Amino acid sequence: MQRYFVPSAQFSERAVKIIGDDAHHIQRVMRMSENDQILCCNDQGNTCLCEITEFTNEGVTLSIVEWLEESKELPVTVAIASGLPKGDKLELIIQKATELGAFQFVPFNAARSIVKWDEKKGDKKLERWLKISKEAAEQSHRNKVPEVLKPLSLGELIALGENFDYKMVAFEEEAKQGEQTQFAKLLTEMKPGNSLLTVFGPEGGLTDKEIDQLKSHGFISCGLGPRILRAETAPLYVLAAISYHFELQGVK
């Protein structure tokens, strides 16, 4: 069943109004008709089953059939901080990591980032990232759309880390040296409801200076197994491991 994220302002007590691109998608792409049913999620992550009652020039009107008791979110809040990578790699990270349950995306300007943030083109780039996040959340039947921030400096990223219960940085040199325990230890310490900020470098990784700065502010340096993972692969590895630990193993 199709799922759409709708601003809470478009909900009334018994109805929902969908406008814009989503209304076009319902009518022109999905070719839905009156009495067809879809799922609508509000800004708080609540989901309701809705039935189409009317198509108008302004959009689609639906009646609320029932509110559902469901939770598709990870038991822990995970933010993915990625040093700006080349090409469309960040788009891939946002799409796949949304499917795997990421709560927030935090791009940052790393020393070895080849791509530099262009403020003039930034709004369009951020809009595209948000659209990718929303569409991936709908496809994977999430209750919430992950937030995507404008790129930060390393200092701003460190300051953001103060809001999290745990924070780690994936460092390939740790993997080369055989370190395979810190991430596993971190998972055993975390409890449902905790928050985790995870930091990943761009192509070429993070510099020793950046690692030292992060570690001096409480970030745990972790290897991710014996193989060196690409910038777009490492975040997915971490999220998959977290999902397995907390959801498939049912850790409480």
Q: What is the pTM of this model?
A: 0.91
Q: What is the pLDDT of residues 33-81, one digit of tens each?
A: 999 999 999 999 999 999 999 999 999 999 999 999 988 899 999 999 9
CA dist 72 and 143 (Å) reads: 6
- Domain region containing 186: 77-248
Which of 16, 48, 68 is the last residue before a domain boundary? 68
- Residue 227 and residue 201 share a domain: yes
Rounded mean pLDDT of the chain?
93
- Residue 64 and residue 39 share a domain: yes
Q: What is the pLDDT of residues 81-119, one digit of tens each?
A: 999 999 899 999 999 999 999 999 999 999 999 888 877
> How sure is the predictor about 174, in pLDDT bands with cuts at 50, 70 and 90?
low
Provide the domain count of the chain: 2
- Residue 97 and residue 18 share a domain: no
- Residue 243 and residue 121 share a domain: yes
For residue 222, what is the domain's CATH number? 3.40.1280.10
Contact criterion met (CB below 8 Å) for 234 and 200 = yes
Contacts of 15 (CB under 8 A, 6+ apart): 53, 61, 62, 63, 64
Average of pLDDT values for 125-137?
96
Alpha carbon 151 to chain centroid, angstroms = 15
pLDDT at 32: 96
